Each structure stands twice: as C-alpha cells, then as structure tokens.
Amino acid sequence: MTYETLMNTINSYGRAGLVHLGTVTALLNNAFGDWLASQGVSRVDLLTPKYLWVSVQGELKQAQTVPGIELHDRFFVVNRDEVHKNPEAIADALKCYSSEGDGAYVWIVPDGYMAALTPAEQEWEEHGGGYFSHESICISNTADSDTRCLLEVLYEDPALENVSCEFEVPAHRSVHYRLDTLKREDGEPLIAKDAPVSYKITSRDTRVVVQGSRILTSGENSVFASFGTVMAWCPQ
C-alpha cells in the first residue's frame, strides 16, 4: 500500500462521478483505515475536492517545509493539486510527528489466578531450584515517549481488598513482571494466592500492548506444568 494508491483512489472516485465529500471520506477510511493506522494516521477527511485533511496520532515535533502540505499539531492539510506528482510527500510529513505507539491506553485481563506453592516447592524456590506456578504481565511501548502504567488487581472475593501498583515503561521498550514477586510496602506479596482476580492496566501517556501469561505446576515433585498466554482485552 502506498500514498500514491490513496491519491489515485480519490481520483478514481471523482472519475466515477462520486462527488459527495462525506461519502468519499467514509469510503477512504473504510478502504485504507487499517493501513493508515499502521502509519500513525487516525483518519483522513476530504474537506474540499482540492484539500485532504490528515489526522495524526502524535504531536508535531519539528516544523519544516513539505511542498504541498501545511503542517499543524496533530494534523496536516494536503493540497492534492500540488502533491499529485509526489504523493510520498505525505510520508515525509508524517516524519515530522511523534508516535503515540500501538495498542490502547486501557487493557484488562479478566482471568487471573496464582496457585499457592506446596511446602516442597517453596523450599525448592528458596534455593533457586525450580520454575513454579506464577503469572506474568508483559507490556510493550512502541511510542516515542515513556509512559507510566497503573496495575489494578480486582479480586472476586469481597473479603479481599483490591490492590494496585505503578511502574514505568520506557519508549520503544518492553517490561515483564512476575506478579508473584510484587511486594507491598511491608515486604509481603502484593497479590494473594489461590484467589481469582482480574487485572486492569492503564497507561497514562502512550498507547501500549499488554499480554498476560500463567504457568501452573502440579503433581508429585511438580512434574507436570501447564503454560497459558492470553492477549489482554482493550475496551477502545
């Protein structure tokens, strides 16, 4: 997919007699929406037969001249008459904007459960001799800026008080947290064992992608292990 394809499609709509700007805009976003999102564009709007409005998922980080394109914070306007010979100037314009990353600001893992270790497993773990039941949360930040995430633990049992913690995820990095190693201020485990929970992860500054994982061990000497991984659900 290229910006030349996008511009040629607009011309094709015109040659076919489609002149209603709202209809053309809807067709463009239906046809190119997924690809545009991968380029950091939230949507395009044909304002007039001559001007195309491009909404960007990011702030203008450097003001420079791009022939046929007028740059603004979070959007730019394309003069179709001036860029028809060089549609890739749109790609040059996008380089002037920061990236807010992939994914979403809010993620939820509805099914969480950390099994308590047997006495033998606890002893083995203390001596570094095994890989036992636990859960993990992995967060990827593909944006150009750091973000701070809030992890909220939502218990099923009303007798248990919900808990939370915060952590940083640097730009263009990932973080991986063994949830059984998270501690309260008094040094005790943050998350209770043998308690059904849900996890909510909220990113403050950028979009992120979240994955939850679980390993369960059982049987004599913990000879059996099962591993599950699930993409979190985002409400956006």
> Where among 33, 62, 94 does a domain terminate?
94
Whether 165 and 49 map to the same domain: the answer is no
Whether 122 and 227 map to the same domain: the answer is yes
Whether 222 and 190 map to the same domain: the answer is yes
Question: pLDDT tens, 136-150?
Answer: 899 999 999 999 999
pTM above 0.85, yes or no: no
Whether 30 and 123 map to the same domain: the answer is no
Is residue 236 in a domain? no
Is the per-residue pLDDT at 62 higher than 90? no
> Where among 59, 94, 129 does a domain terminate?
94
What is the model's pLDDT at position 128?
67
Whether 43 and 142 map to the same domain: the answer is no
Q: With left for phi above 0 and alpha for psi between -120 and 50, is residue 110 left, alpha or beta?
A: alpha
Question: pLDDT tens, 163-214?
Answer: 999 999 999 999 999 898 888 888 888 999 889 999 999 999 999 999 998 8
pLDDT band at 40 (very low <50, low <70, confident <90, very high): very high
pLDDT band at 96 (very low <50, low <70, confident <90, very high): very high
Whether 115 and 222 map to the same domain: the answer is yes
Tokens of 66: 């791009």
Domain that holds residue 221: 106-231
What is the model's pLDDT at position 205?
93
- Across all residues in the chain, what is the average pLDDT? 89
Kind and range of the H or E run holding 30: helix 21-38
Q: With left for phi above 0 and alpha for psi between -120 and 50, is residue 84 left, alpha or beta?
A: alpha
What is the model's pLDDT at position 181?
85
Quick one: average pLDDT of 102-106?
93
Domain count, the chain: 2
Which stretch of 73-82, 126-135, 172-181, 182-191 has the lowest confidence by average pLDDT? Answer: 126-135
Is residue 100 in a domain? no
Is residue 115 in a domain? yes
Whether 89 and 143 map to the same domain: the answer is no
> Where among 94, 125, 150 does a domain terminate?
94
Give the torsion through C-alpha atoms of 57, 61, 64, 66, to 10 deg. -10
List, in sequence order, every beta strand (DSSP E) within 80-196: 106-112, 134-141, 147-155, 163-169, 173-178
Whether 176 and 85 map to the same domain: the answer is no
Is residue 101 in a domain? no
Whether 123 and 180 map to the same domain: the answer is yes
Is residue 143 in a domain? yes
